[in-house]
């Protein structure tokens, strides 16, 4: 989620090596924060893109919400025929991994699940979407943030877990000849611009963008994208317009909601899907919803 339109680095025109416009056969697709909002919408859009031999891993804290989404995908009630858990019809496997990435035990559980899955040598493509994140206590201004445990807990979930999980997945999949690896970081305008009373969120998003830019620099064979999805109509946006300490920013969010300027998650997820299909962005780029 992010507050509104703003500048971002547009997609480039260089040749791509990632997913094309056709079905993505033998793809291991991992989405964190998949149980609701943008992650859930993206999972519903990506499922029909995953062809025979593929697996879709849904990762979030809520086991019940993940199970409901997986059942929806398997049953085809979304209008998408994704097959069943055992590979019937399309051969797509849907795997739920309930885990709290903000705690060591949950991160270990998620890492173990990915390592077990990605060691399968039949996969020809890895797509990892780091979507999980939190807003932090936006009722506090910068000078109110004095609790070290609170701050470390926020950054552990929003930065450290994304680094650990991505590294674990990439090491497990490895650099296989003829295979491709794509890592997506769900970013925000807040990675580029400061917002009052959002010190934790802005810092976390900025750090994640730079972290994944380093990955793109170190590993040129890996496609890396930071995608800012725009001001999404989610529970996080509701929290933003009711709890933001800064009155001007809080009123800005309220006006956006009143004027119908919030974006449906499915609309923004469709733009991300198009970016992945075209695969023309410079690796490591920050691309905003409004750039496309």
pLDDT at residue 91, as a whole number: 58
d(CA 112, CA 180): 22
The 10s digit of each residue's pLDDT in 77-107 is 554 443 333 333 455 899 999 999 999 999 9
CB 72 within 8 A of CB 84: no
CB 181 within 8 A of CB 221: yes
Q: Residue 109 class from Cβ within 10 Å (0-12 exposed, 13-18 middle, 19+ buried)?
A: middle
CB 208 within 8 A of CB 185: yes
Q: In the structure encoding, which two tokens stand for residue 17, read together?
A: 């090596």
54-93 burial, b for 16+ CB within 10 Å, e for fewer? bbbbbbbbeeebbeebbebbbeeeeebebbbbeeeebbbb
- Return the SS3 of 231: coil
pLDDT at residue 78, as a whole number: 52
pLDDT at residue 76, as a whole number: 61
What's this model's pTM, rounded to 2 decimal places? 0.89
Dihedral of the alpha carbons of 143, 147, 152, 154, in degrees to the nearest 10: -70
What does each of the 292 residues of the chain score in pLDDT, given as a tens digit? 555 433 333 333 333 344 445 678 899 999 999 999 999 999 999 999 999 999 999 999 999 999 999 999 887 655 444 333 333 345 589 999 999 999 999 999 999 999 999 999 999 999 999 999 999 999 999 999 999 999 999 999 999 999 999 999 999 999 999 999 999 999 999 999 999 999 999 999 999 999 999 999 999 999 999 999 999 999 999 999 999 999 999 999 999 999 999 999 999 999 999 999 999 999 999 999 999 9
Between strands 125-130 and 27-32, the pairing is parallel
CB 233 within 8 A of CB 227: no
User: Among 266, 264, 244, which Cα is nearest to 254's?
Assistant: 244
């Amino acid at each position: 989620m992010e507050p509104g339109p703003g500048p971002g680095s547009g997609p480039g025109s260089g040749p791509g090596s990632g997913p094309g416009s056709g079905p993505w056969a033998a793809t291991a697709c991992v989405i964190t924060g998949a149980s609701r909002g943008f992650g859930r919408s993206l999972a519903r859009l990506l499922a029909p893109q995953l062809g025979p031999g593929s697996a879709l891993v849904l990762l979030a804290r809520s086991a019940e919400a993940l199970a409901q989404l997986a059942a929806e995908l398997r049953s085809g009630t979304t209008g998408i025929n994704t097959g069943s858990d055992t590979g019937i019809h399309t051969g797509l496997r849907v795997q739920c991994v309930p885990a709290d990435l903000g705690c060591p035990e949950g991160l270990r559980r998620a890492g173990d699940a990915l390592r077990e899955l990605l060691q399968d040598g039949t996969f020809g493509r890895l797509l990892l979407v780091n979507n999980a994140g939190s807003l932090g206590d936006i009722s506090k201004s910068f000078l109110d943030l004095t609790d070290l445990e609170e701050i470390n807990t926020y950054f552990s979930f929003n930065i450290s877990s994304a680094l650990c999980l991505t590294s674990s997945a990439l090491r497990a999949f490895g650099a296989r000849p003829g295979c491709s690896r794509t890592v997506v970081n769900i970013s925000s305008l807040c990675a580029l611009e400061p917002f009052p009373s959002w010190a934790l969120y802005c810092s976390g998003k900025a750090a994640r963008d730079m972290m994944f830019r380093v990955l793109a620099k170190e590993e040129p064979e890996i496609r890396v994208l930071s995608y800012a999805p725009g001001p999404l109509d989610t529970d996080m946006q509701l929290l933003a317009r009711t709890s933001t300490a800064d009155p001007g920013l809080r009123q800005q969010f309220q006006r956006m909601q009143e004027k119908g300027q919030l974006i449906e998650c499915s609309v923004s997820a469709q733009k991300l899907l198009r970016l992945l299909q075209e695969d023309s962005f410079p690796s490591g780029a920050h691309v905003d919803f409004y750039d496309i």
